Structure formats: structure tokens, C-alpha cells
Amino acid sequence: MANDPADNAAKAALRRELLRARNRLTEDDAQEAATVLAGRAADLDELARARTVAAYVSVGREPGTRALLDTLHARGARVLLPVLLPDNDLDWGVYRGSGRLVRAARGLLEPDGGRLGPDAVTDADTVLLPGLAVDSRGMRLGRGGGSYDRVLARLEHAGAHPALIVLLYDDEVVAHVPEEPHDRPVHAAVTPRAVHRFRSA
């Protein structure tokens, strides 16, 4: 089914609004939120019990993941990090600590070392998805590049059913996210103040 231009326009407008709000955060605000998020997310059953977690390295004013990555790594979880491919698909590598991250395209940080292939994500017990917002149904608004739409499609095709979790700021849990046919809900959103769970996922 073709994308509805109205849905595309609504998503683009909401993305601009949310990115403006993130850009107004101070570095201290972002760091404080990252510390609280790491503790709250690390306590989730889906992460506490996971043997393999597909995650990502936050950049800019994204809700911070770095302390959480270190916590998961210290627990002995196998943490997979994305490697952006030229076509916007994602390969994966293993996180071996913050000192083993390298600068990549678009300001991203990626793991050094070998690559596992795009299908490595299907081994994950839990997948942390970047996002800009989520609504009461668990519908996530991403950045619009389509990389994680491919990840979700790959999981579905493989019959894999990991827990899907998004980390957000408190005001990014919104009333409604415009939805397209390929969009899939997440199971939970973690913010500095709360854990939101969604029955539709």
C-alpha cells in the first residue's frame, strides 16, 4: 500500500516540533535525564533478563543510552550496535565498551571490529529503538530514514519476537502519532519519570 501524503506531512511536522524541543535542552538537562533513564531502563525485566540486546549509541540531544550500554555490558549481556549501510539498512557489531566506538557517517558512533550481518538483530531478546515520540497505542515516531522499519520487517519475516522498547523524554509520550501501514507498535517506552507499557504491541 502506498504511503498517504497526509500522513507523511503530519509525521514531518511532528518531527520538526519534537526536534526543536530537544534542541532547546541544555547539556546538563540531557545528562541528568540520561542518568535517570539508565537506571529505570536497566531495571526492566526485558533488559534485566536479556542475553542479547540490540541497542544504539545516542548522539546529540537524543535520550542518552551510553550509561545503559555500559550497565548491560557489565552484566554480561551481548549488546549489538547498529552500523549504518549506504542504503540506510543496518548491519550490526558487538559493543565492547565506550573506548571501542568509532566515528561514522552522520555523526554516529559505531562499534569497531567485525560485522555480523543485518540478520544478527533476529537473535536479540530485546531491541531498543530510537524514536522521537510514542502514543498510547505504542506507535513510535522515528526520524524518517526507514532504517528501523527494515529492522522491524526483518524481525517479523524471521518470526522473531523480541521486546521492543523506546527511550524518550517525558513530553514525548503524546496523544497520537500518525500511522502508516508498515508501522509497528512497541511494547514499552521508558522516560525519566515512568515506564509506559502498551497492550497493542
Q: Which CATH code for domain 5-197?
A: 3.40.50.10420
DSSP three-state, residue 68: helix
**CA separation (Å) from 132 to 3, 43, 94?**
20, 22, 25
Instruction: State pLDDT tens for residues 81-111.
Output: 999 999 999 999 999 998 999 998 888 899 9
117: left (phi over 0), alpha (psi -120 to 50) or beta: left
pTM of the model: 0.91
- The owner of cell 524518550 is 168
148 is in an annotated binding site: yes
Instruction: State pLDDT tens for residues 151-166.
Output: 999 999 999 999 999 9
62 is in an annotated binding site: yes
11 is in an annotated binding site: yes
- The residues spanned by each domain of the chain are 5-197
164 is in an annotated binding site: no
> For the CA atoms of 95, 98, 100, 104, what is the dihedral angle to 10 degrees?
90
